[in-house]
A = this chain, B = another copy of it.
Amino acid sequence: MSKAANPVVLLIEDERQMRRFLRVSLSANGYQLIEAETAAEGMTLAASHNPELILLDLGLPDLDGLEVTQRLREWTQVPLIVISARGQEEDKIKALDAGADDYLTKPFGVGELLARIRVSLRRASATDDGQPVFTLGDLKVDLFRRQVLVGGKEVHLTPIEYKLVALLVKHAGRVLTHRQLLREVWGPHHSEQTQYLRVYMGQLRHKLESNPSRPQYLVTEPGVGYRLRLPSP
């Protein structure tokens, strides 16, 4: 990820006035701005330009802001600040839980916005990992396209199978406990159903591994959970 002197910020906002206001404020403070008027355009630009931060207005004409947040979070951890005219607590909670890093209610001070941008960038530069395409031997997982390839051939995964793989990819190299996996994929109520995991890990191994009974990628950590191997460097 380019950590240039002038960070690239993607602004997704439909109001012209607001766009102009932010364009002026941000570029005056050393940010490079790219702009989108619709959610669709915004998501395309996010993928093509790989910005270092996204400012997202919740009130877009074509798609709900929550939806945009969730879709972005499927493949990228880029800092995402939501700005919105809606100040209801419920809106904030939903946006934050959907994956936003911060939530600002209009009208807000430019100074505060800039400070919150600095916080997000500061944190991101300390982290900066994970490309949206994960490769390990024969296996390729493209979080953006939502596509899994084995030996170049596309493999079809069911929704739950995909969620599991995506989670494992996002934390590749780490052990994810049964509880963590179950909570993220099935929800907090099912965090005791370890049998689900056994069944699904079996299915995934059949789809992803060349020798499912001797897993190379998807390894069991007995008594703890599962782990996706990292590509050996």
Q: How many angstroms between the C-alpha atoms of A77 and B97 in the bound complex?
A: 22
CB distance from A215 to the nearest CB of B (A): 14
Q: Is A144 an interface residue (CB 8 A)?
A: yes
Residue A123 contacts which of B5, B101, B159 (CB distance < 8 angstroms)? B101
Q: How many angstroms between the C-alpha atoms of A174 and B179 in the bound complex?
A: 31
Q: A173, B146: Cβ atoms under 8 Å?
A: no
Tell me whether A222 and B159 are in contact in the complex, defined as CB-CB below 8 angstroms, given that A77-B126, A89-B109, A96-B115 are known contacts.
Answer: yes
Q: How many angstroms between the C-alpha atoms of A174 and B118 in the bound complex?
A: 21
Q: B174, A145: Cβ atoms under 8 Å?
A: yes
Q: Which residues of A contact B (CB under 8 A)?
A: 5, 77, 89-90, 92-93, 96-97, 100-102, 109, 111-112, 114-116, 118-119, 123, 126-127, 129, 144-147, 158-159, 162, 170-171, 173-175, 179, 221-224
Instruction: Enumerate chain B residues within 8 angstroms of A118, measured Cβ to Cβ.
Output: 96-97
Q: How many angstroms between the C-alpha atoms of A173 and B127 in the bound complex?
A: 13
Tell me whether A174 and B90 are in contact in the complex, defined as CB-CB below 8 angstroms, given that A119-B96, A159-B223, A222-B159 are known contacts.
Answer: no
Instruction: Enumerate chain B residues within 8 angstroms of A126, measured Cβ to Cβ.
Output: 77, 127, 170-171
Closest 7 CB pairs of A and B: A159-B223, A89-B109, A96-B115, A93-B115, A146-B175, A127-B127, A145-B174
Q: A224, B96: Cβ atoms under 8 Å?
A: no
Instruction: Enumerate chain B residues within 8 angstroms of A97, measured Cβ to Cβ.
Output: 115, 118
Instruction: Enumerate chain B residues within 8 angstroms of A116, measured Cβ to Cβ.
Output: 96
Instruction: Enumerate chain B residues within 8 angstroms of A224, measured Cβ to Cβ.
Output: 146, 159, 162
Q: How many angstroms between the C-alpha atoms of A102 and B102 in the bound complex?
A: 8
Residue of B nearest to A224 (CB): B159
Tell me whether A146 and B174 are in contact in the complex, defined as CB-CB below 8 angstroms, given that A93-B111, A96-B119, A111-B90 are known contacts.
Answer: yes
CB distance from A203 to the nearest CB of B (A): 15
Q: How many angstroms between the C-alpha atoms of A111 and B101 in the bound complex?
A: 16
Q: B127, A158: Cβ atoms under 8 Å?
A: no
Instruction: Enumerate chain B residues within 8 angstroms of A100, measured Cβ to Cβ.
Output: 119
Q: How many angstroms between the C-alpha atoms of A119 and B77 in the bound complex?
A: 12
